[in-house]
Amino acid sequence: MENLETLNAAHGLGDALRVVAGAGGLPIIEIHSAQATARIALHGAQVLRFKPHRQAADLLFLSDRAVYQTGKAIRGGVPICWPWFGPDPKGLGLPNHGFARTTAWQLTGTERLDDGGVLVELVLRDTPDTRALWPHAFWLKLRVRIGQQLRLELSTHNTGDSTFAITQALHSYLVVGDIAHTQLLGLAGTRFLDNATGAQGVERQQVGEVEFEGEVDRIYQLAPPKLTLVDNHLQRQIHIRAEGSRTAVVWNPGDTVAARLSDLAPGDHRRFVCVETANAGDEVVTLAPGDVATLTCVITSFDADPPAPTYL
């Protein structure tokens, strides 16, 4: 890992962007642009915070009990699940959601944008350590655009000489005032795999809008590219737009599961909903040598009621 002085000399943007030592000594990119503030950890290339100036509250939930340690996942923000989503697909006891979220990435570029936003580029390449977990050559690039919207583009490059398959997710933890007064719009009629405790992956169909009463752990197949989280407590809407994805994952642990998570404080589960842009479940991405696949998530917030979104 390059030291902070070297990183700032190469990539700092004056008052708009600098790299600082964060919790646990992990390097953190701090952004203060004309449009928004944000924090991105090099550990996992994880966006931890994002708040447009026109919003009173952050859009991303970050647990006060999050663990900041090499090899550990940070609870909150937008973790990157890659090269598999969920349990190790080969059943070898490897980490849930892969290794991208627990590995240090390289900061390779920063840029001030003409509209006042900031662009950050981070890269992860295969190493002997990653090949011990997943025996493939790859180049993974994340481009994060911080403006009035948060835009994340995750590109997987197959740099090896054999085909490989991945599942993945941009695992967005979205702040809500109270989950009891929250709805997710756009998934009515969509089929999903129910992975909540005791459901054992049974397939169901969504009836009406998604509401949150107890644990919700669902993989929606053939999901529309635009979803809207309606937060009646904070009186705002958050729009989530997906590209390169036909799967949406919706998760909240509910009381019982949350009580078993040491990196969540009591009641924290009531303050977030995970709406994840994903290729998961039956949606598997296969890349031949030289192929590139990009997964994109765009998160936008509105205080007042915007025009009703069109679900394509």
pLDDT at 303: 79
What pTM was computed for the model? 0.94
Rounded distance, CA 250 to CA 83, Å? 19
Rounded distance, CA 240 to CA 228, Å? 6
Cβ proximity of 273 and 182 under 8 Å: yes
**Nearest residue to 46 (alpha-carbon basis) of 13, 87, 26, 74:** 74
> What residue spans define the domains of the chain?
4-302
Rounded distance, CA 263 to CA 72, Å? 11
DSSP 8-state symbol, 102: G
Which CATH entry fits the domain spanning 4-302: 3.30.70.100, 2.60.120.860, 1.20.140.10, 2.70.98.10?
2.70.98.10
**Token pair recorded at residue 240:** 């989530």
Neighbours of 4 (CB within 10 A): 15
Cβ proximity of 102 and 111 under 8 Å: no
Q: Quick: pLDDT tens for 44-103.
A: 999 999 999 999 899 999 999 999 999 999 999 999 999 999 999 888 889 999 999 999
Neighbours of 278 (CB within 10 A): 26
DSSP helix/strand/coil, 132: helix
pLDDT at 110: 98
DSSP helix/strand/coil, 71: coil
Cite the active site residues. Answer: 171, 276
